[in-house]
A and B are shown apart, each in its own frame.
Chain A
């Protein structure tokens, strides 16, 4: 239990994928202009990260990891190591998952589609999602833990973009040198936010 809590705190705070890994920056910069859209995108990233991390962990642990296919092919598979293709397989799984989710919610949950719909295509190419799957391999997580880790990282990403959107709302009404307005000041703020979050790094879970 405490270990799961550790994974969650690490994902949200100490190892926030956006503020310590700087992954998913392009949609972060583009969408944090608007608070409502940031909420929507944050939700969508959390949702997709949770499930794709779990799915990819299943595939990795039962097919791709060194010797993972022993359950399928017997002892002779002990020396098979497919981890070098995990990147490609993960990308395919993420793209496929996003497509399926988009079709399903478009058909049966139009209200949810109104909130998430326009963001889903953005997510296929959000590197934070792929990052979560790759990190979970490095960390050697089981499928269940990977799901928790995916959720935590997604929530951390959502937290970061919502914080930034709230700050940018204030920026909109403040006097700003022209050269700084828009993206430059957002990048500066992201740096400050990341520095602030690095204060959490002292906590090891």
Chain B
């Protein structure tokens, strides 16, 4: 009798706790799959999963830089059902006006009943593909160029980026596409961040290995208007998307005038300069600044100082600006350009 009680009571208690958890789970979560409406498509979703996870499972890939932690703000979508609460993580990334229109972070909201959301139409063409590392070389002491050959080609636009899945981890990192539009291969420039998970992995990946990428992501589009001036500014590895834009425009848009301003630490850290020099385009100018080294033919100083001294905005032509590089550089260049009268709404940037 005593032995029986001694065994039964603790076991029953532990079972009771387990049963209670299960019961609450039943009460909290609907039993069957729920319906998720994305634009006009209907898909099934597992109750309790985040909208981001549900979209991923259904094959709709939307941008997510932080893997669902609410720290990148990329996964913004519009909820059509009105009463979705505003979380602190939402308001950190989304303006009051957009919050009122129903925009929220997809990774921060869970699905408990049927739900309708809207994502930009172009997200529906984002795909996850396997790619093989076809070739690789060091462009500078810390930047590696990776040539990836995807199993199915990604239909990307110049200035867009892909998300690379980092080995066996759950992590993904964004890398801009550096080659011209229409290329079958995807070329990336990856700078080694000391101690960085993704960049270290990509720097040590041997040629011939395969990996998964998804894309294309990114909102920039080359202006359609004829005769627009394209102003491209890059610092360091920020050159990657600029390289794609320069090569694409050189091949397809003779109507545009192109002004390229690049900033590096020293000449050793600069890359692609010769290749840009051999592009044929009727109106392409390139200026390079080195901030830690004096060299014949290069501006000595920061890229925003060079722009201030060298650049003259056109009087009549419309201007479209693409900036890419470290956040302080972007801030400084945007300040200089707005002083020159260029509107911030014409400036597009990727902060690395």
8 Å CB contacts to B: which residues of A73-90? 73, 76-77, 79-80, 82, 85, 88-89
B108 within 8 A of A: yes
In the complex, the answer to whether B112 meets A107 with C-beta atoms within 8 Å is yes
User: In the docked arrangement, what's the CA distance between A79 and B14, Å?
Assistant: 22
Chain B residues, CB < 8 A from A96:
17-18, 20-21
Residue pair B18, A106 in contact (C-beta under 8 Å): no
Contacts of B5 in A (CB 8 A): 69, 73, 77, 80
Q: Is the CB of B18 within 8 A of A59?
A: no
Residues of A within 8 A of B17 (CB): 92-93, 95-96
Contact check, A76 vs B1: say whether CB atoms are below 8 A apart: yes
- Is B41 interfacial (CB 8 A cutoff)? no
Decide yes or no: A104 and B28 within 8 Å by CB, A77-B5, A79-B2, A114-B89 being known contacts: yes
A74: min CB distance to chain B, Å: 11
Q: Which residues A83-128 have CB closer than 8 A to chain B?
A: 85, 88-89, 92-93, 95-96, 99-100, 103-104, 106-107, 110-111, 114-115
Q: Does residue B309 face the partner (Cβ distance < 8 Å to A)?
A: no
With A92-B17, A110-B87 already in contact, the answer to whether A80 and B6 are too (CB < 8 A) is yes
Contact indicator B9/A99 (Cβ below 8 Å): no
Q: Which of B6, B20, B21, B88 has the most CB of A within 10 A?
A: B21
Could you tell me if A100 and B20 are in contact, using CB atoms closer than 8 angstroms?
yes
Task: Select one of B14, B29, B109 contacting A110, CB under 8 A.
Answer: B109
CB distance from A127 to the nearest CB of B (A): 19
> Are A114 and B88 in contact, with the CB atoms below 8 A?
yes
A89 touches B14 (CB 8 A): yes
Cβ of B1: which chain A residues have Cβ within 8 Å of it?
A: 76
**Across the interface, do A103 and B87 meet the contact criterion of CB distance under 8 Å?**
no
The interface on chain A, measured as residues whose beta carbon lies within 8 A of the other chain's beta carbons, has a size of 27
Q: How far is the CB of A196 from chain B (nearest CB, A)?
A: 33
> Cβ of A99 and Cβ of B21 under 8 Å apart?
yes
Q: In the complex the two chains form, is A114's CB within 8 Å of B108's CB?
A: yes
Contact present for A110 and B85 (CB under 8 Å): yes
> Does A157 lie at the interface of the complex (its beta carbon under 8 Å from any beta carbon of B)?
no
* Residue pair A82, B85 in contact (C-beta under 8 Å): no
Which B residues touch A111, using CB under 8 A?
85, 87
CB proximity of A133 to chain B, nearest CB, Å: 14
A97 vs chain B, min Cβ distance (A): 8
Whether A82 pairs with B10 at a CB distance below 8 angstroms is yes
Which residue of chain B has the shortest Cβ distance to A97 in the bound complex?
B17
In the bound assembly, the distance between CA atoms of A95 and B52 in angstroms comes to 27
Cβ contacts under 8 Å, A115 to chain B = 88
Tell whether A114 pairs with B21 under 8 Å between CB atoms, given A63-B9, A80-B5: no
Complex alpha-carbon distance, A73 and B5, angstroms = 10
How far is it, in angstroms, between the C-alpha of A185 and the C-alpha of B178 when the chains are bound? 43
Asked if A103 and B28 make an inter-chain contact with CB atoms under 8 angstroms apart, the answer reads yes
List the A side residues contacting B13 at CB < 8 Å.
Answer: 59, 63, 89, 92-93
With both beta carbons as reference points, the residue of chain A lying nearest to B112 in the complex is identified as A107
> With A104-B24, A111-B85 in contact, is A85–B112 under 8 Å at CB?
no
- A79 proximity list for chain B (CB < 8 A): 2
| A134 CB, nearest partner CB in chain B, Å | 16
Within the complex, what minimum Cβ distance (angstroms) separates B54 from chain A? 15
Given the complex of chains A and B, what is the CA–CA distance between A103 and B25 in angstroms? 7
| A-B CB contact pairs (8 Å), 26 listed | A63-B9, A64-B10, A69-B9, A77-B5, A80-B6, A82-B10, A88-B10, A89-B10, A89-B14, A92-B14, A93-B13, A95-B17, A96-B18, A99-B24, A100-B20, A100-B21, A100-B24, A103-B28, A106-B48, A106-B110, A107-B28, A110-B85, A110-B87, A110-B109, A110-B110, A114-B87
4 A-B pairs closest in CB distance: A96-B17, A114-B87, A85-B10, A92-B14
Residues of chain B touching chain A, judged by Cβ–Cβ distance below 8 Å, are 1-2, 5-6, 9-10, 13-14, 17-18, 20-21, 24-25, 28-29, 48, 85, 87-89, 108-110, 112
Extra 8 A-B pairs, beta carbons < 8 Å, given A80-B5, A88-B14, A106-B110: A89-B13, A99-B21, A100-B24, A103-B24, A106-B28, A107-B28, A114-B108, A115-B88
Tell me the A residues contacting B by CB distance below 8 Å. 59, 63-64, 69, 73, 76-77, 79-80, 82, 85, 88-89, 92-93, 95-96, 99-100, 103-104, 106-107, 110-111, 114-115
